[in-house]
Amino acid sequence: MRSFATLGFLGAAALAAASDVHDLKTDTFKPFVEKHDLVLAEFFAPWCGHCKALAPEYEQAATTLKEKDIALVKVDCTEETQLCQDQGVEGYPTLKVFRKGSYDAPSTYPGQRKADAIVSYMTKQSLPAVSAVDSKTIEDFKTQDKVVVVGYFAADDKTSNTTFTAIADSLRDSHLFGATNDAALAEKEGVKQPAVVLYKSFDEGKNTFSDKFDSEALTSFIKTSATPLIGEVGPETYADYMSAGLPLAYIFAEEQSERDDLAKELKPVAEKFKGKVTFATIDAKAFGQHGDNLNVKVGKWPAFAIQEINKNQKFPYSQDEKITAKSIEKFVNDVVSGKIEPSIKSEPIPESNDGPVTVIVAKNYEQIVMDDKKDVLVEFYAPWCGHCKALAPKYEELGALYSSFKDKVVVSKVDATANDVPDEIQGFPTIKLYPAGKKDSPVDYSGSRTIEDLATFIRDSGSHKVDVVANVKKEKSEEDDEDEVAKATGDMPQQAMAASETDKGTAEKVTDKVKEAVEAVVTNLNDDEGGEADVHDEL
């Protein structure tokens, strides 16, 4: 038995030694990063569940990317505390991309925590915005990713080249871009200069853009063509659907065979509305809870709903009606033409709303928050959120301070899990101030959750400059409140509590223009650990 144990220990040691992920310390991190052209760094904690789930994927990606001279490293934040603080780490795991010469300006890795996604993203980062291709490399380039975009221009066509390069630079995180001035190659590919061809591993295989080179039109073409006619919404595809910028029509069904049948039935409808609405199936067994975000009755499948991402609007199709090509075509047409009002999830308007903190629901949101005569502070909270519970008594005290200024300042709260709100909510609690006369420019609060700091924020960021700071009683610091938060959340050590909690109906965010409902989708689709849907474990 002893010999087996020894062999097991030696085997584990050999595996650790053979790792392609570099384990860095405070004194080795900066020299290593500055030495390499491109580095992906994971800041983790040994107790972090999401870090453990990422580990094998990260290792696999490191092995693949090693061949491309792209280094993957990791830093244990429980040991290298100051380094992680300097890097602005607020949760685990945090992944950051470092480029040579820009140590102080890393970017956050926005993709999935899967080996393929990491390899794809980092490969794109290693290439120039536009790679030069020719007759010898074009075929290989086409297969480098699911979607590649190639521009065919004459060498002296500066306008087309400039437009294409600018678009490639803005979309480089999503797709590979190449270009050639070989007229013979363009002819072989069936296009005439100037033109852009998007090659893809699905649907018809490629799409061609030969219209006038307008930046907006070309960008729209790329985003639309890169999205499958009817694909499947899942962790690996969600970001692509969001970046397309079109309303997303979900086809919910529990079995793959039923999703396939519905996709076949609705394919003509998807073709008719291509460029206006994107269609996708979604596994109702795995991600059915997202139906609640779309105001669809969970458990009653199949179901169909449209989500207008940019406006955070939901349009559920009646679950009492059968899903057919004819009925869905009419429904989609009515949504697109504005004949159907969006569905709004809202709690009842409170019969009495005279407390120090005004209660907002979806039905009175516009009336209260958009009152242009008042500075309105809004806390977006979730009933399960430990930090929200810890804040509650202080928030009530804050509201009471403005009892003599109700004509100028409103302190309010809204349960963002029970009410549709038009704001982008990435975590709980989220606090925003909507100043009088500037409702289109809300101010996000990122300070300490103390009464004094919140009152100072209202004074400094509000239009009325109401000052009640002098009336604030001495209070406990945020550090003193950690015990209360720990009791509320229950599963993290005190030193590991984060400044905010992400929506437990949502997980990895994706992308930067996502509204609150979109955040909910990302969570449902990307939860690595089933019951825990946080983007990352709390600090």
| Annotated domain spans of the chain | 17-125, 129-225, 230-336, 358-482
* First vs last C-alpha separation in the chain: 40
Local structure of 316: helix, strand or coil: strand
Does the structure show a pLDDT above 60 at 537?
A: no
Instruction: Please write the tens of the pLDDT for every residue from 133-164.
Output: 999 999 999 998 889 999 999 999 999 999 99
Q: CA quadruple 463, 469, 473, 476: dihedral positive or negative?
A: positive
Nearest to 360 by CA among 312, 404, 411, 402: 411
Element (H, E) at 334: helix 325-336
Local structure of 181: helix, strand or coil: coil
DSSP label at residue 529: B
Q: What is the pTM of this model?
A: 0.61
Cβ atoms of 212 and 203 within 8 Å: the answer is no
The torsion of the CA quartet 387, 390, 394, 399, rounded to 10 degrees, works out to 60
Cβ atoms of 277 and 246 within 8 Å: the answer is yes
DSSP label at residue 405: G
Element (H, E) at 120: helix 115-126
DSSP label at residue 112: -
Give CA–CA dist 317/269, Å, rounded: 15
Does the structure show a pLDDT above 80 at 379?
A: yes
Superfamily holding 358-482: Glutaredoxin (3.40.30.10)
Which phi and psi angles does 348 have, rounded to 5°?
-65, 150
How many other C-beta atoms are found inside a 10 Å radius of the C-beta of residue 528?
19
Give CA–CA dist 97/65, Å, rounded: 14
Task: Using DSSP bridges, classify how beta strands 248-253 and 278-283 pair: parallel, antiparallel or unpaired.
Answer: parallel
Task: Using DSSP bridges, classify how beta strands 278-283 and 230-232 pair: parallel, antiparallel or unpaired.
Answer: parallel
23's CB contacts (< 8 A; 6+ apart) are 73, 74, 76
Local structure of 119: helix, strand or coil: helix
Q: Same topology for domains 17-125 and 129-225, yes or no?
A: yes
Domain 129-225 of CATH type 3.30.70.360: no
Residue 32 exposure: Cα atoms within 13 Å on the Cβ side: 18
CATH number for the domain formed by residue range(s) 230-336? 3.40.30.10
Instruction: Please write the tens of the pLDDT for every residue from 80-128.
Output: 999 999 998 988 999 999 988 778 889 899 888 999 989 989 998 888 8
DSSP label at residue 274: T
**Fold observed for domain 17-125:** Glutaredoxin (3.40.30)
% of the chain beyond a pLDDT of 90: 67
Active site residues: 48, 51, 385, 388
Q: What pLDDT does residue 499 have?
A: 33
State both tokens at 391: 């804040």
Instruction: Please write the tens of the pLDDT for every residue from 404-459.
Output: 999 999 999 999 989 998 876 878 999 999 999 999 999 999 889 999 999 999 99
Instruction: Please write the tens of the pLDDT for every residue from 262-289.
Output: 999 999 999 999 989 999 999 999 999 8
Nearest to 96 by CA among 33, 159, 35: 33
